[in-house]
């Protein structure tokens, strides 16, 4: 069996590693062999997805930082959190730096005899190589423009600013904070005892907007003694859900299927759940002695599309609820969330959704 993956990014690398671990031949076709890694970006993974990653893709325990408590505030609520989640025994979720996991997967794949990096040769040439499956993870590839351009898309008219603050060492830097400011949410995500990742989503239609992110961080800082702030990166925010997941034996994957607002840190988690489901389908085919073909794509779409759409819309609903410019609505949401958060059963249910998605 032979699989082609188009696109050289974190999702394609994780999928390739999962497949070669099953002794399936995989070629990744790239336009630029060197991946442009933003060192300010971090990835959040749920406990369930960490366990899956360790068992089926690569052991990442050494590059993970545990988050045992999440506190959420509103700029209008002052110092009192409107909701919190905690799990001091196992942790709620884990943070890792984008560059560390990307470099680790690249290193492991290059040593694997079932894997090859190849220069992109175009759609027509790919079709002649006899691949059982073509999996497209490249948003800008000609296949995307030709077959996977129909989607539900929403522009948030927002820009995300990301950086890392270096601060005085904390004995227990395991609490993530998120503040819903009047111009968008800002998250403080610990990645070590001396470093914390920052993600700020600001409402603006002008990508060239310049703001003093350092002053903003200091304004909403909840106890860090900041030494310095790394380079600040920014990117536009939008959400999307693809209308059709496949064409013949070509399957869209990763951010091409679904893209979320980063406030809940669920983007890569959704992709890992997709990898888990796709590998389950492939394993079933292999065990039955069946070939990999279009039926894999059909089953994958039938079992994931509606679930992914509902989950994506749920994240969008949370964002819009907290992002209202109307002060009355914001106060109503704050008070409602406080009441919900005090209910132990509802609190536990939200934690399970964040951990497993809709795979409860």
Distance from C-alpha of 32 to C-alpha of 349, rounded to nearest angstrom: 43
pLDDT at 332: 56
Distance from C-alpha of 324 to C-alpha of 98, rounded to nearest angstrom: 31
Element (H, E) at 258: strand 258-259
Residues 31-73 have pLDDT tens digits of: 876 777 777 889 999 999 999 999 999 999 999 999 999 988 8
Distance from C-alpha of 236 to C-alpha of 155, rounded to nearest angstrom: 9
Among 135, 344, 350, which residue's Cα sits nearest to residue 249?
135
Cβ atoms < 10 Å from Cβ of 259: 21
Q: Residue 168 above 90 pLDDT?
A: yes
Torsion of CA 205, 208, 212, 218, to 10 degrees: 50
pLDDT at 338: 66
The secondary structure of residue 247, as a DSSP letter, is E
Distance from C-alpha of 34 to C-alpha of 30, rounded to nearest angstrom: 9
Burial group, residue 62, by CB count within 10 angstroms (0-12, 13-18, 19+) = exposed
pLDDT at 340: 61
- Output the pTM of the full model: 0.90
Q: Residue 207 above 80 pLDDT?
A: no
Q: Residue 12 above 90 pLDDT?
A: yes
Distance from C-alpha of 156 to C-alpha of 218, rounded to nearest angstrom: 25
Contact yes or no for 191/164 (Cβ under 8 A)? yes
Residues 108-165 have pLDDT tens digits of: 999 999 999 998 877 777 766 788 999 999 988 888 989 998 999 988 888 888 999 9
pLDDT, average across residues 231-236: 88
Among 256, 311, 304, which residue's Cα sits nearest to residue 279?
304
**Domain covering 2-154+238-356: architecture:** 3-Layer(bba) Sandwich (3.50)
Strands (DSSP E) along 113-271, which ranges? 115-119, 133-136, 151-167, 175-181, 184-190, 195-203, 226-229, 233-242, 246-247, 250-252, 258-259
Contact yes or no for 68/86 (Cβ under 8 A)? yes
pLDDT at 334: 61
pLDDT at 330: 58
Distances (CA, A) of 306 to 256, 279, 300, 327: 15, 19, 11, 34
pLDDT, average across residues 248-256: 94
Distance from C-alpha of 256 to C-alpha of 118, rounded to nearest angstrom: 21
* Distant-in-sequence, close-in-space partners of 290: CB < 8 Å, separation ≥ 6: none
Burial group, residue 138, by CB count within 10 angstroms (0-12, 13-18, 19+) = buried
Q: Residue 187 above 80 pLDDT?
A: yes
Please, which pLDDT band fits residue 352 given cuts at 50, 70 and 90? confident
Residues 292-348 have pLDDT tens digits of: 999 999 999 999 999 999 989 888 887 777 776 555 555 656 666 666 666 677 677
pLDDT at 301: 96
């Amino acid at each position: 069996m032979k699989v082609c993956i188009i696109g050289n990014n974190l999702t394609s690398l994780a999928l390739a590693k999962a497949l070669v671990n099953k002794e399936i031949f995989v070629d990744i076709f790239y336009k630029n062999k060197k991946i442009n890694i933003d060192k300010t970006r971090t990835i959040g993974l749920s406990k369930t997805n960490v366990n899956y990653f360790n068992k089926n893709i690569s052991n990442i325990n050494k590059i993970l930082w545990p988050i045992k408590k999440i506190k959420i505030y509103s700029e209008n609520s002052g110092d009192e959190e409107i909701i919190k989640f905690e799990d001091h025994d196992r942790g709620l979720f884990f943070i890792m730096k984008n560059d560390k996991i990307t470099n680790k997967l690249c290193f492991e794949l290059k040593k694997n005899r079932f894997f090859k990096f190849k220069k992109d040769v175009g759609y027509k040439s790919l079709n002649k190589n006899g691949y059982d499956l073509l999996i497209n993870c490249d948003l800008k590839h000609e296949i995307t423009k030709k077959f996977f351009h129909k989607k539900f898309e929403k522009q948030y008219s927002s820009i995300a600013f990301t950086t890392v603050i270096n601060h005085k060492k904390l004995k227990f830097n395991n609490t993530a904070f998120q503040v819903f400011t009047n111009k968008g949410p800002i998250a403080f995500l610990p990645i070590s005892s001396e470093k914390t990742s920052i993600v700020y989503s600001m409402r603006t239609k002008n990508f060239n907007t310049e703001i003093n992110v350092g002053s903003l961080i200091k304004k909403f800082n909840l106890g860090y003694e900041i030494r310095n702030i790394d380079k600040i990166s920014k990117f536009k925010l939008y959400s999307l859900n693809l209308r059709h997941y496949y064409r013949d034996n070509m399957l869209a994957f990763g951010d091409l299927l679904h893209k979320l607002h980063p406030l809940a840190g669920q983007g890569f988690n959704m992709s890992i759940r997709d990898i888990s489901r796709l590998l389950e389908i492939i394993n079933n085919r292999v065990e039955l002695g069946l070939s990999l073909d279009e039926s894999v794509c059909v089953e994958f779409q039938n079992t994931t599309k509606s679930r992914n759409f509902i989950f994506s819309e749920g994240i969008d609903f949370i964002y819009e609820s907290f992002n209202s410019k109307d002060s009355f609505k914001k106060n109503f949401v704050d008070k409602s969330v406080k009441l919900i958060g005090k209910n132990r059963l509802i609190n536990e249910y939200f934690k399970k959704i964040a951990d497993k998605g809709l795979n409860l």
